[in-house]
Chains A and B, each alone.
Chain A
């Protein structure tokens, strides 16, 4: 497929617009000099990603992304940032001189993932525009063909949850215990 063929499809314009917006917000997440701004740019990047999923007719996945990442994860991020220290205005100490290695690492990840997806699928057409994948199909494959990975992932998440609670929780010393009982 040549570039002029590609650009003739209106869907690809939308794809390009959303993709550029995601790239820009992703770039601003790491370069922004204000933590809250960085988190808000992450909202933009995730919303754009949800838009890309919508373009691929994966309606359910797109809204899962919005509900879980924007609605819960980012809200927790913002909550955590604000409850600790988040002044308005710019914080120069947030920028770092060490940009070369991270840039190299990101480029390497990009190359590996691009290579892997081209190697796996090539020019195969995976979804048709305008034909939403039904949630039923996703549900049946999650609890059918992919039931073992699905259960493994939920087990890992449960372990992470318990681990998180164990690390964050501090048992009271006997003195503190007594003080607490007396109140």
Chain B
């Protein structure tokens, strides 16, 4: 035991341990959410969904898919810009993986508790935008290019409400550290969603748009653009995008849960138990939000491009600014 503690006190050993944890966690989470999406979509459309793989409920469907993607040929179009084409999926995955650094899974259970935590998360997730643009352009395909352009316009427009929506919680907690925000909610005795419901709603809408999920999936609208910026990707590079999408769904939901739903804390749970049940509470909340996103997918039709821009610039951003002003005034007055 003593030996183990000494071993993990070594910076490089603990870094390797954390890396290993993330490297196994992300595909696992991607698979769980991906499978949930398949099964729930099937349920909502009165289908059966995956059935045969693995014997029961088709639970091994995504493992089979993953193996299949790895076996496939890595096709790079002849006219493509090869270095850019090949590095784009990596950049998208990096932007996603880096988000896991600041998500607190329990008291002290965080890879690195940065003092600018939430700000770091918003900044690093913008790396994925560059990756998407690179993918769209380097494919040398008009569908890809249009998809990339749509993605860029959409991600810029919705990054602003996303950033502004979290400011309300930051003002209330008085810190940008993710675990600091959870502790502030524990001390206040209520999750911030009660008073910051506007912020929470704006954050969820903007997060849906950032994830390019229905009703904001114009960049990969299959009936118009084949698969948008993903059109030319195959094999494990496509798998990277696929994993990044579901891992991003997890990390966005985890950020929303941390900022607005109390993170790893639930009212009524004694604080000394949080180290053990904390991760499960957080993951439960994440799955609740992920379920909400999957539910939206089969509820709303796709927006038009001008409607999408209108919602962001004319409604969400002014609303988020008003929310900040009201929160700041109340913080000073109360």
Using a CB–CB distance below 8 Å, which chain A residues touch chain B? 34, 36-37, 40, 43, 59-60, 63-64, 66-67, 70-72, 74-76, 78-79, 82-83, 86, 88-89, 132, 134-135
17 inter-chain pairs at a CB distance below 8 angstroms, sorted by A residue, are A36-B81, A40-B130, A40-B134, A60-B119, A66-B126, A70-B123, A70-B127, A71-B126, A71-B127, A71-B129, A76-B156, A78-B130, A78-B133, A79-B149, A79-B156, A88-B80, A135-B119
| Chain A positions within 8 Å of B124 at CB level | 63, 66
Is B152 a contact of A66 with CB atoms below 8 Å?
Answer: no
User: Bound complex: CA of A34 vs CA of B138, how far in Å?
Assistant: 12
Given that A82-B133, A82-B145 are contacting pairs, would A59 and B80 also be in contact in the complex, using a CB cutoff of 8 Å?
A: no
- Once the chains bind, are B123 and A78 in contact (CB under 8 Å)? no
Task: State how many angstroms separate the Cβ of B217 from the closest Cβ of chain A.
Answer: 19
List chain B residues, Cβ under 8 A from A37.
Answer: 81, 84
Contact partners of A82 in chain B: CB under 8 A: 133, 136-137, 145, 148-149, 152
Chain B 165-176, CB within 8 Å of chain A: the 1/0 string?
Answer: 000000000001
The residues of B that contact A64 with a CB separation of less than 8 Å are 119, 123
Known A67-B119, A70-B123, A83-B149; further 5 A-B contacts with Cβ < 8 A: A60-B116, A70-B126, A70-B130, A82-B133, A82-B152
Give the Cβ gap from B95 to chain A, nearest Cβ, in Å: 10
* Alpha-carbon distance A182/B322, docked complex (angstroms): 36
Contact of B138 among A72, A79, A88 (CB under 8 A): A88
B176 touches A79 (CB 8 A): no
Contacts of A88 in B (CB 8 A): 79-81, 137-138, 140
B79 to chain A: closest residue by CB: A88
CA distance A86 to B116 in the complex (A): 37
Partner of B130, one of A34, A59, A67, A74: A74
* Distance between Cα atoms of A86 and B122 in the complex (Å): 29
**Do residues A75 and B116 form an inter-chain contact, with CB atoms below 8 A?**
no
Taking a contact as CB atoms under 8 Å apart, the answer to whether A63 and B119 are in contact is: yes
B152's nearest neighbour on chain A, judged by CB, is: A79
B137 touches A71 (CB 8 A): no
Cross-chain contact of A79 among B79, B153, B159 (Cβ < 8 A)? B153
Q: Tell me the bound Cα distance from A59 to B145 in angstroms.
A: 35
Pairwise interchain contact B130-A43, C-beta atoms closer than 8 A: yes
Given contacts A36-B137, A60-B119, are A67 and B152 in contact (CB under 8 A)? no
- A134: chain B residues within 8 A (beta carbon): 115
Which chain B residues lie closer than 8 Å to A71 at the CB level?
123, 126-127, 129, 159
Whether B123 contacts A72 by the Cβ 8 Å rule is no
Question: Which residues does chain B contribute within 8 Å of A78, judged by CB atoms?
Answer: 130, 133, 137, 152
A59-B114, A79-B133 are contacts. A66–B149 as well, Cβ < 8 Å?
A: no
Of B84, B123, B133, B134, which is within 8 A of A66 by CB?
B123
Q: Cβ of B137 and Cβ of A59 under 8 Å apart?
A: no
Q: Are B123 and A67 in contact (CB under 8 A)?
A: yes
Interface membership of B120, Cβ < 8 A:
yes
Cα-based distance from A37 to B84 in the complex (angstroms): 8
Please give me the 3 A-B residue pairs with the lowest Cβ-Cβ distance, nearest first.
A71-B126, A67-B123, A66-B123
Cβ of A24 to closest chain B Cβ, rounded Å: 15
Name which of B116, B138, B145, B156 has the most chain A CB atoms within 10 A of its CB: B116
A75 to B91 CA separation, bound complex (whole angstroms): 14
Complex Cα–Cα for A88 and B134 (A): 11
Q: Which residues of B contact A34 (CB under 8 A)?
A: 81
User: Which single member of A40, A70, A75 contacts B152 (CB below 8 Å)?
Assistant: A75
